[in-house]
């Protein structure tokens, strides 16, 4: 079984990493797709996001990372994979995800989206929380995978965000 795990990963969090590690154990091939979220202004460049993902997912046998500038359904068509997986933290996420998966299913009949719950202790973690805590100089070590900490800290220490 193959799946695409799409997201903006701006930046990758311990929540994303946890889901990807669980998918690596369940699927023969996991394509981590770095996509553009039109509702969010980007903080890290796509190469930076990919670099951070690579550094924390090193050694995961079934995982590959790619970026895609377009609709998720077009990435699904290009890869031939028909299952997308999205994580959710709470019911509000489920509502958002439901709207997105219904649209995607209309655009690409036969595409399935599976929702996987995050682990309870990671429920509050999100990329936007990371950006906010880091922008105030707070400690992000519990929120971001260790190999990515330097990249995130450097971005905010330079006052770019």
Instruction: Give the residues lining the site for ligand PNS (CB under 6 A).
Output: 6-8, 35-37, 40, 71-72, 100, 103-104
Spacing of C-alpha 60 from chain mean position: 16
The Cα–Cα gap between 78 and 34 comes to: 14
Q: Least Å distance between CB 110 and ligand PNS?
A: 16
Which of residues 78 and 157 has its CB atom nearest to ligand PNS in the complex? Answer: 78
Which of residues 99 and 142 has its CB atom nearest to ligand PNS in the complex? Answer: 99
Q: Least Å distance between CB 113 and ligand PNS?
A: 10
The phi, psi pair for 83, rounded to 5°, reads -115, 120
Which of residues 109 and 159 has its CB atom nearest to ligand PNS in the complex? Answer: 109
Strands 2-7 and 63-68, sheet pairing: unpaired
Which of residues 4 and 140 has its CB atom nearest to ligand PNS in the complex? Answer: 4
- Cα dihedral sign for 146, 140, 22, 10? negative
């Amino acid at each position: 079984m193959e799946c695409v795990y799409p997201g903006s990963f701006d930046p990758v969090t311990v929540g994303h990493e946890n889901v990807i590690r669980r998918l690596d154990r369940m699927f023969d091939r996991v394509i981590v797709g770095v996509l553009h979220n039109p509702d969010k202004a980007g903080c890290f460049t796509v190469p930076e996001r990919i670099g951070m993902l690579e550094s924390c997912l090193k050694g995961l046998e079934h995982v590959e990372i790619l970026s895609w500038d377009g609709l998720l359904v077009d990435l699904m068509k290009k890869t031939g994979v028909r299952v997308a997986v999205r994580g959710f933290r709470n019911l509000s996420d489920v509502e958002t995800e439901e709207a997105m998966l219904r649209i995607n299913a209309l655009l690409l009949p036969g595409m399935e989206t599976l929702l996987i719950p995050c682990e309870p202790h990671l429920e509050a973690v999100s990329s936007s929380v990371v950006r906010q805590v880091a922008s105030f100089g707070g400690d992000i070590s519990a929120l971001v995978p260790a190999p990515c900490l330097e990249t995130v800290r450097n971005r905010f220490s330079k006052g770019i965000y």
